[in-house]
Amino acid sequence: MKNQLLKSIFTVFVTLCTVLVCGQDTQTQLMNRINTFLKEGKCDDAQLLYDAWKDLTNKTNSSVETRIRDCKSGNSSGGSGNRHPGEPEMVFVQGGTFTMGCTSEQGDDCMDPWEKPTRRVTLSSFSIGKYQVTQAQWVAVMGSNPSFFKGFNLPVESVSWNDAQEFIRKLNAATGKKYRLPTEAEWEFAARGGNKSRGFKYSGSNNIEDVAWYRDNSGDKIHPVGTKSPNELGIYDMSGNVYEWCSDWIDLYPSSAQTNPQGPSSGTTRVKRGGRWNRPPITCRVSTRIASYPDHRLYGSGFRLVLVP
């Protein structure tokens, strides 16, 4: 035990010496090493390196802290050492029926014709990411970071819909699980708070300042995930910070009720939801829809994942 501790301390010392000389690139290597320790179930080693990383960078990483905590507690469902470092923390969403589109709390802000008509939608249960996929998770799967704003606990952005699909393909191959993008209906149901919804205009509040980084409070930059209040389901940042890709092609809504809708079978542009840090409040509402070409790596576009049972 003593020898193992001395070995861990020596590893931290050597790594920090290298970081101080080599700078940001080696800081990335340090975080990758933390992720490797977590994947191997070496919780104490991961904690030592993470504490050193915090002291060096004067930053924190909530997703890494959660994985270290869960690693030590043996909680395999919430983020144990057996979980791949690219996997997000998930929130279970009980299936239910809701009204999708321009509901009454949206007032005069609805964008015709895209948010109308409203319709009743029934969904099966699913699990969705508690946070937007972070840059640390992206790097753990893809090996590089395309984001304009750099930071391990910032959401990955400047990724296309096609890029997100490649991330999912590699993550599923590494884990044997079935992650995917949320459908537009799943995204809106989760953003509204699912069966616990209190009918808010934004995801978790009628006061956008409580739940979103947007044009008037962001300082013209994105922010670490989970730093605003969550919604009724405990999900963060579904209003503001970065736009989130959904699986659907965009089209006008049908008027009839639907069960587990998948969107049109074909199209030109894919749905994005949630608004972003440099957009006005109207874009951060739970019913707002926009779309982009699936191969466009647009500034400020990220995503979160759904896990298929």
Give the DSSP per-residue string, 176-201.
S--EEPPPHHHHHHHHTTGGG----S
Q: How confident is the model at residue 6 (pLDDT cuts 50, 70, 90)?
A: very low
Q: Are residues 38 and 154 in the same domain?
A: no
Please state the three-class secondary structure of 227-253 as a single string: CCCCCCCCCCCCCCCCEEEEEEECCCC
Q: Are residues 61 and 166 in the same domain?
A: no
SS3 content of the chain, % helix, strand, coil (to 5): 35, 15, 50
Q: How many domains does the chain have?
A: 2
Q: Are residues 275 and 193 in the same domain?
A: yes
pLDDT for residue 73: 54
State the Cα–Cα distance between residues 189 and 121, nearest whole angstrom.
9
273's enclosing H/E stretch is: strand 270-273
Helix axes 2-22, 43-57, angle to 10 degrees: 30
Q: How confident is the model at residue 3 (pLDDT cuts 50, 70, 90)?
A: very low
Q: Are residues 153 and 218 in the same domain?
A: yes
pLDDT for residue 250: 98
Q: Judge whether 78 lies within some domain.
A: no
Neighbouring C-beta atoms of residue 12, cutoff 10 Å: 18
Q: Are residues 32 and 118 in the same domain?
A: no
**Mean pLDDT across the stretch 14-38?**
62
Q: Are residues 60 and 167 in the same domain?
A: no
**Mean pLDDT across the stretch 299-303?**
94
Q: Are residues 55 and 111 in the same domain?
A: no
Q: How confident is the model at residue 23 (pLDDT cuts 50, 70, 90)?
A: low
Q: Are residues 161 and 266 in the same domain?
A: yes
Q: Judge whether 80 lies within some domain.
A: no
Helix axes 24-39, 135-142, angle to 10 degrees: 80
Domain that holds residue 266: 90-307
Most confident of 24-38, 46-60, 81-95, 182-196: 182-196
Q: Are residues 69 and 107 in the same domain?
A: no
Q: Are residues 63 and 97 in the same domain?
A: no
Domain-ending residue, one of 45, 73, 101: 73
